[in-house]
Amino acid sequence: MALANPTTVPHPQFWRTMWANALLAPRTTLGFMRIDFVLGTVFVIPLTQMVFFAFVVTLGGGGASDVAYVALGNAVATVTYSSVFSVCQTTDSEKQQGTMEHLLVSPAGRFALYFGRGFIPILISLATVTVGLTYAALFFGVTIPVATLPELAVSVVLTAFAMVGFGLLLGGVALYLRTSIILGNIFLFIGLLLSGVNFPLSSLPPVLQWIGDGYPLTWGLAAIRASISGEAFGSLALLWAAVAFSGVVSLGLAMGCWEYFERRALSTGSIARF
């Protein structure tokens, strides 16, 4: 069909763009996430990371409750591998595969484009946390009452969404960088220190606590711990709101970053360099 106005650019539908990206990303920008990589991320990394910190706590004189605390924290923290590290690297993939220029001139809606790209990582994140929590219950003495499973499921889903939003934000920042590896590595592990994964946030200096509060993992982990301990719906709802808020803010900032750096890219023509 001919266009009514030759200067009008047709914008693909939101859902079509999102689904196309969700389905294509594992073969393109997320191509490094092969099935062996995904299976290792879901089944191996959570167990080895939990074992590592459980023994560190044991060596430091920690008891069963400390081991359970650390195991639960690390079970959730492994979500960063798929949600933050992998999503953040999609920008590098675009640059290395030479598709960045084409993406920048595409009329496709950016939100659908990037959110679609994060769809598979969200699913992998859900699987990673679920397997991690299973390990925590089976091997590390973490008690997960059956009655708390619905609240726990909501907390896990919200955390996965929020963390992928944060990964997209880093991907947006990485647009301006030569590589996202450094950024990805920082946020892959920073949660172990600043998000209450291995010890309560209150044992850190106030400045570090504030930084930790800005990271969605902190709120997601707090919501998951609260869900398992059977806290009242009111306080749980507040934590869910905080997780959702951190995810929305991350996504909003991600879109802002992309828009800003896209404009710079189009004016300088240098953004695809790496």
Partner 1 sequence: MALAAGEVSRLRTTVASLRLAVLQFMADPQWLVPSMIAPVIFGLVSFELFRGAGPYFLTYAILGAGMMSMWGQTLYGSGWATGQDRVFGTLEPTIQSPSPYLYVVLGRILWNIVIGLVGGGIVYGVVVVAAGGPPALPNPALFVVLFLFVMVTLASVGVLFAAAYVYTRYAGFIQNIGEFAFYVGTGCMFPVILLPFWTNPIALLFPPTWALDALRYVSIPGYTGFGWGWQVDLVGAVVSTAVYAGIAGGIFHRVERHVLEVGNLSEY
Binding residues for partner 1 (CB under 8 A): 32, 34, 36-37, 40-41, 44-45, 48-49, 51-53, 55-62, 70, 178-179, 181-182, 185-186, 188-190, 192-193, 198-199, 203
CB 83, min distance to partner 1, A:
15
- In this structure, the dihedral spanned by the alpha carbons of residues 70, 73, 77 and 79, taken in order and rounded to 10 degrees, is 130
Helix axes 119-139, 149-174, angle to 10 degrees: 130
Min separation Cβ 200 and partner 1, Å: 10
3-state helix, strand, coil in the chain (%, to 5): 75, 0, 25
CA 164 to chain centre: 3
DSSP state of 83: I
- Nearer Cβ to partner 1, position 66 or 231? 66
Q: Tokens 């001919």 — which residue?
A: 2
Which two tokens mark 117?
């790209």
Name which of 65 and 185 has its Cβ closer to partner 1: 185
- Burial, 203: exposed, middle or buried (Cβ in 10 Å; 0-12, 13-18, 19+)? exposed
Residues 77, 71: Cα–Cα separation, whole Å: 10
For the chain, helix (H) and strand (E) counts, in that order, are: 15, 0
**Which lies closer to partner 1 via its Cβ, residue 78 or residue 227?**
78
The continuous run of DSSP H or E covering 134 comes out as helix 119-139
Q: How far is the CB of 44 from partner 1 (least distance, A)?
A: 5
CB nearer to partner 1: pick between 17 and 49: 49
Residue 57 vs 120, nearer CB to partner 1: 57
